[in-house]
Amino acid sequence: MTPDTSASVRLGRKLPARFNAVVTPLVITFLMTCVVSGISTLNGIGLRDDFAVTWLQSWGASWVVAFPTLVIILPLVRRIVGAVVEQPGR
């Protein structure tokens, strides 16, 4: 018998489905602000000695704005996408 190495087993118990509305924007904004702030910081100051500190400060500030913004606008985005993208089975 092979051990189950699925993500749910490795991470422990999963959150209930009701948390999807918060976890989705949390993950999206975490990753997107990381990339965008990194690129913006690199373009703005170049690869200096204080790049990492400046990037982390920039990342934190942008995430604090991006996360609640996405939580608020995600229902609107889903409605817009539903209006322009055909749903499966229709």
pLDDT in tens, 6-57: 665 567 889 999 999 899 999 999 999 999 999 999 999 999 999 999 999 9
* Tokens 């422990």 found at: 12
* Amino acid identity, position 66: A
The token duo for 35 is 């990339």
pLDDT average, residue stretch 64-78: 94
Name residues whose C-beta falls within 8 Å of residue 71's C-beta, 6 or more positions apart in sequence. 21, 22, 25
CA–CA gap between residue 87 and residue 73 (Å, rounded): 21
pTM, rounded to two decimals:
0.71
Contact 31, 62 (CB under 8 A): no
